[in-house]
């Protein structure tokens, strides 16, 4: 059955909810693993005051009994601790107090178009849901997908390759799985220590200048079988599904698969991954320029996707805007904000890639119980003569 991941909640409302439907029964879950991913989403130099208030934990309220999935929808809830400071402004029900409306949309945010589309006069009705706080629920749901993939031998990792004008050193090949040991201890989750120091300094300089900073994160999945996705129709091509999931993350404006945009400038002989065979290894490639995807399907090589994140639109020195009540010039809304969230965006990217891949496994292998899925994967690998890398 298809896998579904739905989130609900507002940034300063009572809390966030995530429902994941379609995981098989019998999957053993680790609640500490879910909370660990929740904490990782809050990492990174350049975060703002909200991270000092929230210590995110996911509470499971449905779909799990004694640590194992039941086959039905799984519901996760994340409380917003900051709601105590916003109870009048964000209460789901009418309050006696007079709550002032917000009329100052921010350039680069959903604010203005959202009030047009939904007929609101108060920008807060849009910005609260559009906020990247929503990704806390996605990470909780993605953690369930990650644990399902781990049961099938798949691991998903991320790191930062660029912040502002600072780039990590170029690698000839994607990092190995073991290279990620300790990446979360780095202040910007970068695998290049020298670049990391320069990134931290860049964030400090731009923050003092009242600027926000974007960058690029890379997410890699290891241990995938070949043949997830399909070439037979546009909507089944895994490339598009992954790109859509990555670009759905707030402030992400581009996704690249494998060598991505760099391939456009290369001749064909340097753009593709030649195919080899040996009795010991079976079919294999010596390069992975495609990022583990050919014809809309996984090749069995590590799957590599990058997300390009723009600077956050909430600035400590607001940009020019217009008051939607008076239509007079005004500065955009100023709210508590982060200077840089690229390290956290990588963790959200892991969650979204894990969701797409878990959905692809469910689509291809089915199974009501996790042991059924394992058996189907094993039979498929035997049929095609595939040995996990």
Residue 190 has pLDDT above 60, yes or no: yes
Cα 162 from chain centre: 17
Q: Please check whether residue 280 lies inside any domain of the structure.
A: yes
Full-model pTM:
0.96
Neighbouring residues of 358: CB distance < 8 A, sequence distance ≥ 6: 3, 23, 145, 148, 149
Q: Please check whether residue 360 lies inside any domain of the structure.
A: yes
DSSP category for residue 173: S
330-384 confidence digits (pLDDT tens): 999 887 778 999 999 999 999 999 999 999 999 999 999 999 999 999 999 999 9
Do 161 and 168 meet the contact criterion of CB atoms below 8 Å apart? yes
Buried b (16+ CB within 10 A) or exposed e, 125-145: bbbbbbbbbbbbbbbbbbbbb
| Residue 123: pLDDT band with limits 50, 70, 90 | very high
Tell me which residue range forms the domain holding 69: 4-384
Instruction: Give the pLDDT score at 184.
Output: 96
Q: Please check whether residue 389 lies inside any domain of the structure.
A: no
d(CA 29, CA 370): 12
| Residue 34: pLDDT band with limits 50, 70, 90 | very high
CATH of the domain at 59: 3.60.150.10
Percentage, residues of the chain above pLDDT 70: 98
- More confidently predicted of 108 and 46: 108
d(CA 5, CA 152): 20
Instruction: Give the pLDDT score at 48.
Output: 65
Instruction: Give the pLDDT score at 92.
Output: 96
Which H or E run includes 77? strand 74-79
d(CA 130, CA 332): 16
- Over range 162-168, report the average pLDDT: 97
Residue 50 has pLDDT above 70, yes or no: no
130-164 confidence digits (pLDDT tens): 999 999 999 999 999 999 999 999 999 999 999 99
Q: Please check whether residue 294 lies inside any domain of the structure.
A: yes
Mean pLDDT lowest for which of 47-51, 60-64, 78-82?
Answer: 47-51
Residue 326 has pLDDT above 60, yes or no: yes
Instruction: Give the pLDDT score at 100.
Output: 95
The number of folded domains in the chain is: 1
- Over range 276-297, report the average pLDDT: 94
d(CA 287, CA 275): 9
**Most distant CA pair in the chain: distance in Å?**
76
């Amino acid at each position: 059955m298809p896998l579904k991941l739905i989130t609900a909640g507002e940034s300063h409302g009572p809390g966030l909810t995530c429902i994941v439907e379609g995981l098989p029964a019998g999957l053993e879950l680790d609640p500490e693993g879910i909370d660990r991913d929740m904490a990782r989403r809050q990492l990174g130099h350049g975060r703002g005051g909200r991270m000092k208030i929230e210590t995110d934990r996911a509470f499971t309220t449905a779909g799990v009994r004694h640590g194992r999935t039941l086959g039905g929808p799984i519901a996760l809830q994340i409380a917003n601790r900051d709601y105590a400071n916003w109870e009048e402004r964000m209460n789901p029900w009418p309050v006696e107090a007079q709550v002032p409306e917000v009329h100052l949309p921010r350039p680069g945010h959903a604010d203005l178009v959202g009030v047009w589309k939904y007929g609101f006069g108060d920008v807060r009705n849009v910005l609260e849901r559009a906020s990247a706080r929503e990704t806390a629920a996605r990470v909780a749901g993605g953690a369930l997908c990650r644990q399902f993939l781990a049961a099938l031998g798949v691991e998903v990792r991320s790191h930062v390759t660029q912040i502002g004008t600072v780039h990590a050193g170029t690698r000839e090949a994607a990092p190995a799985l073991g290279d990620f040991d300790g990446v979360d201890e780095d202040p910007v989750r970068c695998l290049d220590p020298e670049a990391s120091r320069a990134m931290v300094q860049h964030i400090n300089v731009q923050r003092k200048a009242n600027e926000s900073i974007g960058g690029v994160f890379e997410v890699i999945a290891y241990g995938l079988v070949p043949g997830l996705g399909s070439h037979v129709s546009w909507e089944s091509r895994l490339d598009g599904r992954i790109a859509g999931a990555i670009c759905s993350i707030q402030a992400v404006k581009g996704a690249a698969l494998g060598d991505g945009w760099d391939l456009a400038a290369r001749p064909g002989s340097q753009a593709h991954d030649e195919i080899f065979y040996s009795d010991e290894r079976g079919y294999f490639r010596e390069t992975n320029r495609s990022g583990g995807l050919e014809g809309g399907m996984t090749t069995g090589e590590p799957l590599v996707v990058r997300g390009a994140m723009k600077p956050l639109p909430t600035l400590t020195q607001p940009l020019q805007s217009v008051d939607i009540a008076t239509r007079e010039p005004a500065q955009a809304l100023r709210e508590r904000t982060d200077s840089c969230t690229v390290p956290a965006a990588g963790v959200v990217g892991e969650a979204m890639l894990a969701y797409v891949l878990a959905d692809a496994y469910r689509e291809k292998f089915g199974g009501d119980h996790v042991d059924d899925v394992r058996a189907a994967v094993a039979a498929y690998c035997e049929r095609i003569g595939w040995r996990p890398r």
